[in-house]
Amino acid sequence: MACGYNYQTKICLACGNTFKPNSGVQKYCSNPECERDQNRRLAKASYPRHRVRIIAYAKARYNANRNRIKEQAKQRYYEHDFGDQKCVQCNGIFRALRKQQTFCSKPCQVKYWIAKGKATRWTGDERNRKASAKGWENAKPQFKNTSIERALGTQLKKAGIVFEQNASINSICNADIVIHDQKLAIFCDGDFWHRLPKTMIRDKKINSKLKRKGWIVLRFWGFEIKSNLDECTRQVMAALERR
């Protein structure tokens, strides 16, 4: 009550509960949520209605123009006709969608760069697919704990062979699988990264250094481990028997 006047009980417009007002114009109770709703309603009521209509009309016009521009750009892209072109790799005829398009597909482009010596192998791996034919040197390979390493390691554990993964050998290199007692180093080479020219040169240097130190070096390609894992395990067992 204010000034000793007793106001009649009212119903809150926000929550619907009854409350005792402090003034004759109070329409909301003292609940904080109801007070926020009151502020929103007051702000909306104080905003000019003609400006609300203008803003809504402007937004509708903007969205319509944006959709129209998108459709026109899409139409222009697909309506471009650069004629029939001949693929440099497979000599097939295809419809070019851009200027100076010389390959009908990505595999043909990669095969072409392989023949030119820019790359030496291409796999269907999704991670390697992101490395373009010209930008493969800037892509980041997965260095350890790869799927082929895990597969070969699991098979060797089943055979009862004790080894260490991703271990350093005399500060020369880090091998994927190392059996220190038998001086056996096993490398699981990916089909893409380890066929690059600079990587192949580095791997040959590592092999020669390890052999001079008395180590046996085994290298398995990724496709060999995936297609014939038992044969890879047999080669490891044969190398241990020779020791």
DSSP per-residue codes, 59-73: HHHHHHHHHHHHHHH
Give residue 214's pLDDT band: very low, low, confident or very high (50, 70, 90): very high
| Structural domains of the chain, ranges and CATH numbers in brackets | 10-46 (no CATH), 147-242 (3.40.960.10)
Exposure of 61 by Cβ count < 10 A (0-12 exposed, 13-18 middle, 19+ buried)?
exposed
Q: What is the enclosing helix (H) or strand (E) of 174?
A: strand 173-179
**Mean pLDDT taken over the chain:** 77
> Cα separation of 148 and 189, whole Å?
8
What confidence tens digit (pLDDT) does each residue in 35-72 have? 777 676 665 555 566 666 777 777 888 888 888 877 77
> Cα separation of 158 and 230, whole Å?
11
> Cα separation of 241 and 198, whole Å?
33
**CA contacts within 13 A on the Cβ side of 45:** 6
pTM (two decimals): 0.44
- Contact status, residue 180 vs residue 164, Cβ threshold 8 Å: yes
Give residue 232's pLDDT band: very low, low, confident or very high (50, 70, 90): very high
